[in-house]
Amino acid sequence: MSDGVETATVTPAITFEIVTLFPELFDEILRASLLGKAIASGIIQVHRTQLRDFGIGRHRSVDDTPYGGGPGMILRVEPIAAALDAITLARGPSRRVLLSPQGARLDQRKVVELASAGRLTLICGRYEGFDERVARHVDEQLSIGDFVLAGGELAAAVVLEAVARLVPGVLGCGMSAADESFSHAHARLEYPQWTRPPEWNGGAVPDVLLSGDHRAIERWRRREALRRTVERRPDLIALEPLNSDEARLLAEPPEEPKT
């Protein structure tokens, strides 16, 4: 049985399929904020498939002990393969992504790539992992970081939101996604930002942001984004070194803060 999230009668820009033992974990995520609005308007569509519906035997078993011994239980290949086949039969083929700590690290470039998939299936693990033969039934494996979770549901939610927010119409402002950390051609952090009041408790907004000079503001933001990346994430600079234009921009002196 598949638990589909109802949407308006329009063609969605992207459809997510989530294969999970705990579809209820997504209830609030799929109802809240901009994501909930996008689903309600039909911009995106989400279907949740309960893996246990494809379990084996009277008890709908989806896991078993590992060959060779060891702790915990391993998800069997047959229920996962059957769930994926049922999704394809019901709604067509999709790009299949297995959420696993052994997968490639998710980054913004991968998010942009996934956003063009049209249909994306996210497979959530549980217990001690998957039977190795599951990998034959997916297109790729993804990890959201070098740490261990109880299951893949939170990782799937991260992928879902990161991808969905790139779909036109999901965010309120078309520039929001483009201006944020990791969203540029190079992996760089976002520039610092302020809002009202202009001065508070000894801290003040930089003069350039109050100047109304949009070209100067844009240049200042680019420079401060680079400066912040160098200071806070030197690993990103090591991965993608500064180009000549960035190096010149970074060499400019920072604006002195008001006191």
| pLDDT band (50, 70, 90) for residue 258 | low
Q: Do 75 and 190 belong together in one domain?
A: no
The C-alpha torsion from 144 through 146 and 152 to 153, rounded to 10°, is -60
CATH assignment at residue 222? 1.10.1270.20
Report the number of distinct structural domains present in the chain.
Answer: 2
- How large is the average pLDDT for residues 72-96? 97
Determine how many CB atoms are found less than 10 A away from the CB of residue 13.
Answer: 18
More confident site: 254 or 140: 140
Q: Do 203 and 137 belong together in one domain?
A: no
d(Cα 144, Cα 103) in Å, to the nearest integer? Answer: 9
| pLDDT band (50, 70, 90) for residue 13 | very high
The pLDDT assigned to 5 comes to: 53
Please say whether the dihedral angle defined by the alpha carbons of residues 68, 71, 76 and 80, taken in this order, is positive or negative: negative
Which of 133, 164, 195 delimits the end of a domain? 164
- DSSP, collapsed to helix, strand or coil, labels residue 100 as strand
Residue 110 lies in a domain: yes
- Strand residues in 9-157 grouped as ranges (E): 14-20, 44-50, 63-64, 74-75, 95-105, 119-123, 140-143
Q: Do 32 and 107 belong together in one domain?
A: yes
d(Cα 61, Cα 249) in Å, to the nearest integer? Answer: 60
Residue 203 lies in a domain: yes
Least confident range from 22-36, 123-137, 171-185: namely 171-185
Token pair 């806070």 is at which residue? 232
- How large is the average pLDDT for residues 107-134? 95
Strand partners, 132: none
Q: Do 10 and 54 belong together in one domain?
A: yes
Closest CA to 137 of 56, 205, 75, 66: 75
More confident site: 173 or 86: 86
Give the global pTM: 0.85
Question: Are the beta carbons of 18 and 122 closer than 8 angstroms?
Answer: yes
Residue 231 lies in a domain: yes
Distance of CA 138 to the CA centre of its chain: 18
Q: Average pLDDT over the chain, rounded to whole?
A: 90
d(Cα 108, Cα 115) in Å, to the nearest integer? Answer: 10
- How large is the average pLDDT for residues 157-172? 93
The pLDDT assigned to 145 comes to: 95
Which of 109, 136, 164 delimits the end of a domain? 164
Q: Phi first, then psi: what are they for 196, rounded to 5°?
A: -65, 150
The C-alpha torsion from 12 through 14 and 17 to 18, rounded to 10°, is -120
**pLDDT at residue 185 tops 90:** no
Domain limits for position 64: 2-164
Question: Are the beta carbons of 20 and 153 closer than 8 angstroms?
Answer: yes
| pLDDT band (50, 70, 90) for residue 254 | confident
Q: Phi first, then psi: what are they for 15, rounded to 5°?
A: -120, 130
The pLDDT assigned to 255 comes to: 65
| pLDDT band (50, 70, 90) for residue 6 | very low
- DSSP, collapsed to helix, strand or coil, labels residue 51 as helix
The pLDDT assigned to 186 comes to: 64
The pLDDT assigned to 253 comes to: 83
Question: Are the beta carbons of 145 and 105 closer than 8 angstroms?
Answer: yes
**pLDDT at residue 7 tops 50:** no
Q: Do 151 and 196 belong together in one domain?
A: no
